[in-house]
Chains A and B, each alone.
Chain A
Amino acid sequence: MDTVQLTIDNKPLVVKKGATILEAAKSIGVHIPTLCHMKLDDMNIENKPGGCRVCVVEVEGRRNLAPACCTEVAEGMVVHSHSIRAINARRTVVELILSDHPADCLICAKSGNCELQDMAHHLGIREIHYKGEQSTYREDTSPAIIRDVDKCIMCRRCEMMCNEVQTVGVLSAINRGFNSVVSPAFEMNLDHSVCTYCGQCVAVCPTGALTEVNQTNNVVRALSDPAKTVIVQTAPAVRAALGEEFGMEPGTLVTGKLVSALRSLGFDKVFDTDFAADLTIMEEGTELLNRLTKFLEGDKDVQLPILTSCCPAWVKFFEHQFPQLKDIPSTARSPQQMFGSIAKTYFAEKMGIKREDLVVVSIMPCVAKKYECGRDEFKVDGNPDVDYALTTRELASLIKLANINFSRLSNEDFDQPLGESTGAGVIFGTTGGVIEAAVRTAYELYTKKPLPKIDFNELRGMEGIRQATIDFDGFPINIGIAHGLGNARELLKRIEEGESNFHAIEIMSCPGGCIGGGGQPYHHGNVDILKKRQMAIYQEDGNKKIRKSHENPYIIQLYEEFLGKPMSEKAHQLLHTEYFDRT
């Protein structure tokens, strides 16, 4: 028999065998509160250690209460989700967690977005009946992520993301009983570990135990310094998610309002990382074609497949875990860094501003970008190409701080010359987008013919590993796509074992790509939010008049006036980089 009949809160229902009580309840609209449990449907990501016991329910005929998240339904089961016994147990559990939790909600970075705070509210907790020892740990600050594990409730979501999804293996539960906590090995700091700063631990942490390094004050200070020209770039995925912070529906595109808000905040120029994404395609696409041409000419030493290199967490991942493959990824810098480099040379020269008087701020869906802009190779005499990288969340808090009524803002356009972009630049924000953008340009440069169709639906989707073959006018190009570092590891293993026939592979560290980045508004386990953001990105692409990077007029102008041609010596110096063995 494939189905099971049961009753939940006096409602009879039939569900698939093997479902949990939690899933069964959800199917009839009964909400059982959970804390440690988190599931991203269709992405194969689930955390159910059954540890917090907040989801306990009463099952008739069973002596003890059952955790709904990890108890399978059984034929004839009678479940009461809100009996007095279940409610009391649930409140006791939350009170016990709160008894070992700092009560600094008013000034906590997570206030208003904290699942523990919400739970205490949901259960109507007005008093904590338990007083006991409080665990205290040293705060660990890295270039991108702050660990304040006094606030850790041992839900172990971060551990699941770090180990099972990302296979980075930095975080693990350590010690025993009251002293147990999630930590890197030997309680070392994150910046001594192999952490990639992907920020997926931050994205799923229910409390304020894991947060990004907040740099909003640095930006406010720069904006109020009359000696500085402060310019801003904003990544593609930000416009598809920022609206959520202001109560808008997930998937609402807010590009025009975003520009308007940044201008109101006082940025001297509002530019677009999408412009740099187009530039990335010019460099990376040319690099791909060069390698392909050499390969076709019979050069045995040519490194194929070429791997994308836009994602800083992915770069740090292979530097730690696959240093032997460090010659395979494209040497093209990420769009954030290309933008910074061009802003502090081409743009600064054009405007007659000294490098040290120009401050470049970026708005990113990502926490790893904070680490990336601090890398030594992206500095000139100690001055970084990008000064500060703020997350989408930090930008939202800046907008609120400046009393800007976001939803009533009018739509404004980016400034020029670094604000013009194509649809190809926009789709960098989702898994599959970078490689689709590269294909659009590489196809036309290689075949010297216009694309028969611009949308490559075979490259789109949410599956962790995807592959497709694109016909380059008689020459089949094999494309691989992976998002999530665990999936990336899978593909890298195939390459190492010589089982790959890919010519080009796109890798993004975060599930979903940048739309699911560690710096985005919290999704709280709702995968539909990611899907809607993805749809918004493709919608923005579809709305663009120009949808191929090599047709961006300002990119053409940049090469004519400044860089020469893709992969020129100047382009090499400003737009390419090298990788390091970090083992």
Chain B
Amino acid sequence: MPKIKLAENTVQQIKEVCAEFGNKEGELINVLHKVQNKLGYLPAEVQEVIARELKTSVAKVYGVVTFYSFFTMIPKGEFPISICMGTACYVRGAEQVLSEFKRQLKVEVGESTDDGKFSLNCLRCVGACGLAPVVMVGEKVFGRVAPTQVVNIIKEYREGCASENAKSA
């Protein structure tokens, strides 16, 4: 794993979150949650700082990060793509849509493209089953997506003409 050096103010931010939760080991999940909200992801160096602040082992922190699918160690792309794998979407062909995204972007689920533009993830039911299969890019919902439309969705964002509100936080 390549080491990245955290900026001083990032370290400060993490320490502040830990302090907010009283530097208690029992608050680990809450700390991770909040830090991921601030930084977008939880790389090894961030976990090391958290372990130090909460006086626990980095192996324990990593254990929790890898246990919950919510936590990620990979930075999300500028445009995070989520494919719904809920029952309705699944039976209406979400799997084929997903494999088309993987083929076009040359990434696996949970990964980001090298240029950092896209990341690919699966989720369970966004409550729009009537539109199955559903794909979300950032906050924007695409319904009744066919594998043939995938190339256009990607093109739309890659060329930068997509609405700004699709950008991830």
Summarize B's interface: helix, strand, loop or mixed.
helix
Judged by a CB distance under 8 angstroms, whether B121 is at the interface is no
Judged by a CB distance under 8 angstroms, whether B104 is at the interface is no
> How many angstroms from the CA of A319 to the CA of B122 in the assembled complex?
44
Q: Which of A172, A180, A183, A188 has the most CB of B within 10 A?
A: A172
Question: A149-190 interface mask toward B, CB cutoff 8 Å, 1 = contact, 0 = none?
Answer: 000000000000001000011111111100010011110100
Question: A293-324 interface mask toward B, CB cutoff 8 Å, 1 = contact, 0 = none?
Answer: 00000000000000000000000000000000
Residues of A within 8 A of B102 (CB): none
Contact, CB under 8 Å: B61 / A185: yes
> How many angstroms from the CA of A174 to the CA of B59 in the assembled complex?
8
Q: For residues 25 through 62 of chain B, which have their beta carbon under 8 Å from a beta carbon of chain A?
A: 44, 47, 56-62
Question: Looking at the complex, which one of A171, A175, A180 makes contact with B59 (CB distance below 8 Å)?
Answer: A171
Question: B51-79 interface mask toward A, CB cutoff 8 Å, 1 = contact, 0 = none?
Answer: 00000111111110011110000000000
Question: B88-119 interface mask toward A, CB cutoff 8 Å, 1 = contact, 0 = none?
Answer: 00000000000000000000000000000000
Residues of A within 8 A of B60 (CB): 163, 169, 172
Task: Tally A residues with Cβ within 8 Å of B.
Answer: 17
> How many angstroms from the CA of A490 to the CA of B1 in the assembled complex?
33
Residues of A within 8 A of B61 (CB): 185
> How many angstroms from the CA of A185 to the CA of B73 in the assembled complex?
13
Contact, CB under 8 Å: B63 / A174: yes
Contact, CB under 8 Å: B67 / A185: no
> How many angstroms from the CA of A170 to the CA of B62 in the assembled complex?
11
Summarize A's interface: helix, strand, loop or mixed.
loop
Contact, CB under 8 Å: A172 / B44: no
> How many angstroms from the CA of A185 to the CA of B61 in the assembled complex?
8
Contact, CB under 8 Å: A176 / B57: no
> How many angstroms from the CA of A173 to the CA of B68 in the assembled complex?
13
Contact, CB under 8 Å: A172 / B57: yes
Say how far B11's CB is from chain A's closest CB, in angstroms. Answer: 16
> How many angstroms from the CA of A174 to the CA of B58 in the assembled complex?
11
> How many angstroms from the CA of A180 to the CA of B63 in the assembled complex?
9
Say how far A165's CB is from chain B's closest CB, in angstroms. Answer: 14
> How many angstroms from the CA of A183 to the CA of B61 in the assembled complex?
12
Apart from A169-B59, A174-B62, what are 5 other A-B pairs with CB-CB below 8 Å?
A163-B57, A174-B59, A174-B67, A176-B66, A188-B1
> What is the interface of chain A, defined by CB distance below 8 A to chain B?
163, 168-176, 180, 183-186, 188, 193
> What is the interface of chain B, defined by CB distance below 8 A to chain A?
1, 44, 47, 56-63, 66-69
Task: Give 21 CB contacts A-B under 8 Å.
Answer: A163-B60, A168-B57, A169-B57, A169-B58, A170-B57, A171-B59, A172-B57, A172-B59, A172-B62, A174-B66, A174-B67, A175-B67, A176-B67, A176-B69, A180-B67, A184-B59, A185-B61, A185-B62, A186-B62, A188-B1, A193-B59
